[in-house]
């Protein structure tokens, strides 16, 4: 009995799949397994349509293009999909984590990796909106690092405010601050949290290994903040320092000498307008950059990279370079006045 | 109804598997579908009788077991 039913449904599905322009009721009646009586056939067909719908195949009826008095049935291919799986933010975070981890585990079967990768392709946008990057990750440095990452992922997935002690680059002491974590991502082998910093009252990114202590800022199960409308983590991953923080108006032009022109690859080149001079040097025209960060960044690139304009930044970088040179000439800096 | 609902997705899964791989060992397919080899053989037999009217050999699924392998032909 069950076998006959399965065979009838497979036949019906095959018929609908092989007839692009629809199937007349008469053809369906010729399928094996349908009762002969008119009413019994209709009842059975209605039940079968419902069963196919439950399986993800929507059978729809429409008027026959050649004969307005006839009805044809066809599969709505736009709906011929299994029911969409909606993941909760926690499940998305877990999937993203699983995908990252399995990329490095040879013991995980290829079917699992393939499945997770496929899920990644289809749900990547969603993963980005819940704030978890799907890039492959290295193993956590230790238990402490692992539990820190877990807490951060939970906070990102459930929009929980965090209280952290963070030691910024160049600072000798960690500062307490509260952050609303929008996303967690991996860049250059290090984990970063991107979010709103309540201390600075602006979005900031935090390198996870400089977070000395982290905990939930508030008790309670509900979310503590909402993601900014249209937030997309991918826009904040792989950003140059001059793209972060307060931006100035106007254009800044950075020149890369021929030996340094390789730096303006696809990543940097997309940040601004690139022109090439006859001598092989490259000019990168940037707008809306953080001037202070641009000066520090250019200085860090060393010989062969210079700011051509605006004049204010040229002056600033010259001043900073002279200070560095003076410090180097006067030996190790002790922080005391001599 | 529940039997048919669970059975039909399994039959569809079997067809999709074989469409992807061409042919597979009986053991691999049975393991993938979570059924015994006997149950799989029953599914293959059932599918080989499925198709569209007038149910001539050319209108049926070309599916068979031979030498411990399941094979799906290019019928339909």
Res B69 pLDDT > 70? yes
pLDDT digits (tens, 9 = 90+) for A257-312: 988 888 887 678 878 899 999 998 999 999 989 898 899 889 888 889 999 999 99
pLDDT tens-digit series, residues A23-43: 988 999 999 999 989 999 999
Domains A2-79 and A143-224+231-239 share a fold: no
What is the spatial distance between Cα A55 and Cα A82, in angstroms, rounded to a whole number? Answer: 7
Section A103-118 average pLDDT: 45
pLDDT digits (tens, 9 = 90+) for A211-256: 999 999 998 888 999 988 888 777 777 678 788 777 888 899 999 9
Q: Which fold has domain A143-224+231-239?
A: SH3 type barrels. (2.30.30)
Chain B contact for A101, CB < 8 A? no
* Greater pLDDT, A312 or A20: A312
- Closest CB to B8 among A10, A15, A32: A10
Reply yes or no on whether the pLDDT at A146 is more than 60. yes
Q: Does A108 lie at the interface with B, CB-CB under 8 angstroms? A: no
Residues, chain A: 338
Which whole number is the average pLDDT over A9-34?
89
The verdict on a CB contact (< 8 Å) between B11 and A10 is yes
pLDDT at A111 over 80: no
Percentage of chain A with pLDDT > 70? 74
Please state, in angstroms and rounded to a whole number, the distance separating the CA atoms of residues A85 and A174.
43
Which residues of chain A are within 8 Å of residue B3 when distances are taken between CB atoms? 2, 5-6
Whether residue B1 and residue A51 make contact (CB cut-off 8 A), yes or no, is yes
Query: What is the residue-averaged pLDDT of chain A?
Result: 79
Rounded to an integer, what distance in angstroms lies between the CA atom of residue B63 and that of residue A275? 62
A63 vs chain B: nearest CA distance in angstroms?
23
Touching B: A residues 30-89, CB under 8 Å: 30-32, 51, 54-55
Contacts of A5 in chain B (CB under 8 A): 1, 3-4
CA distances for A268 relative to A253, A281, A288, A291, angstroms: 13, 15, 15, 16
What are the domain boundaries of chain A? 2-79, 89-133, 143-224+231-239, 251-330
Q: Report how far residue A268's alpha carbon sits from residue A108's, in angstroms, rounded to the nearest whole number.
A: 36
Q: What is the pLDDT of residue A40?
A: 93
Does domain A2-79 match CATH 1.10.10?
A: yes
d(CA A333, CA A295): 22
| Res A113: pLDDT | 44
pLDDT band (50, 70, 90) for residue A17? confident
* Collapsed DSSP state (helix, strand, coil) of residue A193: strand
* pLDDT band, very low/low/confident/very high, at A74 (cuts 50, 70, 90): confident
H-helix or E-strand spanning residue A293:
helix A291-301
**Chain B residues in contact with A9 (beta carbon < 8 A):** 4, 8
Instruction: Output the pTM of the full model.
Output: 0.41
Model confidence pLDDT, tens digit, residues B29-43? 999 888 999 999 999
By CA distance, what is A27's nearest residue in B? B53
DSSP β-ladder status, B23-25 and B69-72: antiparallel
């Amino acid at each position: 009995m069950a076998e006959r039913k399965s065979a009838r449904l497979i036949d019906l599905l095959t018929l609908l799949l092989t007839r692009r322009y629809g199937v007349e009721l008469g053809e369906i009646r010729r399928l094996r397994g349908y009762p002969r009586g008119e009413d019994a056939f209709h009842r059975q067909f209605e039940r079968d349509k419902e069963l196919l719908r439950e399986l993800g195949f929507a059978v729809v009826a429409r008027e026959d293009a050649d004969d307005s008095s006839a009805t044809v049935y066809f599969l709505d291919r736009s709906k011929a999909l299994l029911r969409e799986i909606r993941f909760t933010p926690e499940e998305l975070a877990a999937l993203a984590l699983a995908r990252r981890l399995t990329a490095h585990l040879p013991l995980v079967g290829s079917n699992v990796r393939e499945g997770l990768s496929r899920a990644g392709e289809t749900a990547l946008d969603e993963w980005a909106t819940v704030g978890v990057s799907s890039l492959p990750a290295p193993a956590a440095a230790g238990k402490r690092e692992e539990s820190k990452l877990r807490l951060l992922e939970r906070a990102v997935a459930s929009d929980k405010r965090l209280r952290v002690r963070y030691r910024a680059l160049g600072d000798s002491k960690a500062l307490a601050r509260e952050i609303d974590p929008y996303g967690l991502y991996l860049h250059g082998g290090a984990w970063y949290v991107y979010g709103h910093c309540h201390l600075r009252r602006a979005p900031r990114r935090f390198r996870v290994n400089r977070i000395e202590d982290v905990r939930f800022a508030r008790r309670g199960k509900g979310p503590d903040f909402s993601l900014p409308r249209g937030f997309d983590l991918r826009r904040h991953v792989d950003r140059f320092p001059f793209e972060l923080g307060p931006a100035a108006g106007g254009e800044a032009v950075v020149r890369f000498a021929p030996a340094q022109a390789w730096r303006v690859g696809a990543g940097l080149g997309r940040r601004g307008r690139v022109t090439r001079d006859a001598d092989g040097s490259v000019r990168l025209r940037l707008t809306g950059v953080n001037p202070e960060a641009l000066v520090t960044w250019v200085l860090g690139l060393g010989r062969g990279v210079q700011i051509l304009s605006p004049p204010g930044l040229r002056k600033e970088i010259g001043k900073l370079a002279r200070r560095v040179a003076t410090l180097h000439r006067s030996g190790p800096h002790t922080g005391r006045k001599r | 109804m529940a039997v048919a609902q669970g059975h039909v997705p399994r039959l569809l899964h079997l067809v999709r598997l074989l469409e992807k791989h061409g042919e597979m060992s009986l053991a691999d397919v049975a393991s993938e579908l979570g059924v015994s080899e006997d149950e799989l053989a029953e599914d293959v037999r059932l599918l080989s009788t499925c198709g569209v009217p007038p149910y001539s050999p050319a209108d049926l699924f070309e599916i068979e077991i031979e030498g411990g392998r399941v094979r799906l032909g290019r019928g339909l």
